A and B are shown apart, each in its own frame.
Chain A
Amino acid sequence: MIPAEYYLVLAALLFFIGVFGFFTRRNLLGVLISTELVLNAVDINFAVFNAYYFPEHLEGFFFTMFAIGIAASETAVAIAIILNVYRNMRTIRLKELKKLKF
């Protein structure tokens, strides 16, 4: 039996690696990849809390499943927006994206 704390520390590591990437990435796709890392770390936490402390219910299980679905839809919309930004401004580098309206 692996202690629950090990999972939680692993999830915290992944979360803050994602935060680091969010700070240091220089284009929109990289920022989106970091966001995915953060979301994924939170999903692990939900599943672990459910499995270790409340195995008679399935709340964490379903929260993880809905979070995966919402992450998928969020990524689809975000990538559509990024493609549209690229088509209009020919760049997705954060430094060059200064205008909200092109």
Chain B
Amino acid sequence: MELNTLTIIFIGLSLLMVAAALLAVTTRNIMRATTYLLFVLFGTAGLYFILHYTFLGAVQVTVYAGGIIVLFVFAALLIGKGTRDLTHTSILRYTAGFTAAITGLALTVYLIFTHQFPEVQHPVSVVPMKLIGHTMMGVEKYNFVLPFEVVSVLLLACMVGALLIARKR
């Protein structure tokens, strides 16, 4: 693998993402955890840009980094003192989590490197916006109008549900 610009960007992004993810699950302060999660989500958007999926990167930045992080910040600020952890996690729980994570990771990495993947076909260039629109709203085979409508109904339902659950009585 030659060391070109994309590779350097990929290595930098992955180091940032792994470090931010580790900090997000270990820091005691919930606001800090939210900020580290934001870094992971931005890194993921960068990966989509490297893969030439620029539209997906834009969706990731607006929905995840713009929407979900704001929700987390609101929740952390509204709850305030309640998010502070007073006791330490028991050593048994740490061991269980660590064992589960390491075992799963080892198994997955082993499978990734031993499995015979099909031939890599080099992605040519950025997916044109027109193709994305036609695929999303088309009704033929390999088109996605039905999931699109289902997701729109789901979003409406969850909006109503969230309001209903969270309102003051």
**Which residue of A9, A20, A37, A43 is within 8 Å of B37 (Cβ)?**
A37
Q: How many residues of A contact B (CB 8 A)?
A: 74
A51 to B126, CA, bound (A): 11
**Which residue of A14, A27, A59 is within 8 Å of B18 (Cβ)?**
A14
| Interface check B127, CB cutoff 8 A | yes
Within 8 A of B (CB), among A24-51: 24-27, 29-30, 32-34, 36-37, 40, 43-44, 47-48, 51
Cβ of B30 and Cβ of A7 under 8 Å apart? no
Chain B residue with the shortest CB-CB distance to A86: B79
Cβ of B112 and Cβ of A5 under 8 Å apart? yes
A4 to B78, CA, bound (A): 42
A5 to B118, CA, bound (A): 12
A12-B109, A62-B147 known; A26 vs B85 contact (CB < 8 Å): yes
Q: How far is the CB of A66 from chain B (nearest CB, A)?
A: 6
A30-B30, A73-B158, A79-B72 known; A17 vs B79 contact (CB < 8 Å): no
A21 to B96, CA, bound (A): 11
Chain B residue with the shortest CB-CB distance to A8: B112
Cβ of A10 and Cβ of B14 under 8 Å apart? yes
Chain B residue with the shortest CB-CB distance to A5: B112
Cβ of A17 and Cβ of B21 under 8 Å apart? yes
A66 to B144, CA, bound (A): 10
Q: How far is the CB of B107 from chain A (nearest CB, A)?
A: 9
Q: Closest 10 interchain pairs by CB?
A: A23-B97, A21-B25, A73-B158, A80-B166, A20-B101, A80-B162, A16-B101, A80-B165, A12-B108, A16-B105
